[in-house]
Structure 1
Amino acid sequence: MPRLITRHPVTDTMTPHKVFIGIGSNIGDRLHHLQEAVDRVSLLENTAVVKVSHVYMTEPVGEAGQNRFYNGVVLLDTALAPEELRRQCKIIEQELGRPETYPRWSPRVIDLDILLYDDLVISTPALTIPHPELHCRKFVLLPMLDIANPLYPATGENTLQLLDRCIDRSVLIRVRESIRV
């Protein structure tokens, strides 16, 4: 049964939590940006990168006329609370060249999204977990299946079940086995 949190979740800082992070880039050296992001996430306090999916070239969502994205998913063990992990991901994005504010679906050097955090369901003004579009984004579901088949706490379905009924019909092209851990 998922745990619903509507305010600030309390997490045990000593217990690692399983977290899936979506990574993406469509500006400049996309593979380099993904690798840099994974390297920096691995340096976060009380955090270890467990697995990284293959990297896929995907069609952009939203704004037309931009480069294709390179996307993947990273599995972490972390003792960071969800809000702190989000804050650290935003810092990494900015350090790698992403502006603090940006239009939705615009081109980006790097994008780090918390997809799942254990079985938590969080809804705060700053953070929604599971990621609200996870279930309808093939560029997230397929890479996630490379490394695990976690349950989607909002419905109790696993990732393969979500992919089977996903309405996203975009084409994903595997461009690399995976990013170094």
Structure 2
Amino acid sequence: MALHTAYIGAGSNIGDRMDHLAKAYHRLLHTPGIENAAASSAYISEPLGITDQEMFTNMVFMLRTTLSPEQLLRICQDTETALGRPRQHERWSPRVIDLDILFFDTLQLTTPELVIPHPELHKRKFVLLPLLDIADPYHPALAKNARKLLEECPDTSKVMQQKGAPEAPF
């Protein structure tokens, strides 16, 4: 089986955010078909959309996996549910955990359930900064690496590395 590299954006703004991120990371790491993982530093960011809510803690996880993108999406959704996120929720609302597939190798995929690369990642410093902690992947649709995307990112929100957060693997 082919071994793929996938990047997962992870965020939380309810309760013990670092605990939720750690549980999501460990759940993914111990999933059959995921052979290795790494995690970025934690970053604090302002909420988007609905701004009257707690700040987010964001990370990016890099996974080496034999799973397909669709299988990985189901694992991410199952992890969100297991950690207390309802399947139906208002967009931009507070959440215990949010897991988004950012990249899957250099695959470009658009289905009703999944778009890879994530269609908004190049507009979000809270994704690009932690991503660059662990890699500088190539965005096949925009023909640029993540570092160049960050240089051109229109996001003016405050994003700062969380000091004193435990380093992965937590």
Counting only pairs closer than 5 Å after superposition, residues 105-144 of structure 1 correspond to structure 2 as 105-144=92-131
Name the SS for the 2:57 alignment partner.
strand
Normalising by structure 2, we get a TM-score of 0.96
Name the SS for the 1:20 alignment partner.
strand
| CA drift at 1:44 | 1.1
**Counterpart residue number, 1:156:** 143
The answer to whether the 8 A contact 2:29-2:37 is kept is: no
| CA drift at 1:64 | 1.9
**Counterpart residue number, 2:22:** 35
**C-alpha separation in 1, matches of 2:55 and 2:88:** 21
**C-alpha separation in 1, matches of 2:6 and 2:40:** 14
**C-alpha separation in 2, matches of 1:22 and 1:78:** 16
Name the SS for the 2:92 alignment partner.
coil
Aligned residues: 168
**Counterpart residue number, 1:8:** none
Name the SS for the 2:108 alignment partner.
strand
The answer to whether the 8 A contact 1:31-1:70 is kept is: yes
Q: State, as a whole percentage, how many aligned pairs show the same letter.
A: 48
| CA drift at 1:43 | 1.1
Q: Structure 1 residues 64, 178: closer, same or farther in 2, change over 3 A?
A: same
Normalising by structure 1, we get a TM-score of 0.90
Name the SS for the 1:100 alignment partner.
coil
| CA drift at 1:147 | 0.3
Give a deviation string over 1:19-51, Cα, whole Å, max 9, x none: 000000000000000000000000111103432
**C-alpha separation in 1, matches of 2:166 and 2:15:** 20
Give a deviation string over 1:77-101, Cα, whole Å, max 9, x none: 0000000100111000000000011
Q: Calculate the aligned-residue CA RMSD, in Å.
A: 1.0
The answer to whether the 8 A contact 1:41-1:49 is kept is: no
Counting only pairs closer than 5 Å after superposition, residues 1-181 of structure 1 correspond to structure 2 as 14-175=1-162, 176=165, 178-180=167-169
**C-alpha separation in 2, matches of 1:18 and 1:50:** 9
Unmatched tracts of structure 1, length 5 or more:
1-13
The residue type paired with residue 97 of structure 1 is G
**Structure 1 stretches of at least 4 aligned residues deviating more than 2 Å after TM superposition:** 176-179
**C-alpha separation in 1, matches of 2:45 and 2:137:** 22
The residue type paired with residue 43 of structure 1 is H
**C-alpha separation in 2, matches of 1:117 and 1:104:** 24
| CA drift at 1:177 | 5.7
Unmatched tracts of structure 2, length 5 or more:
none
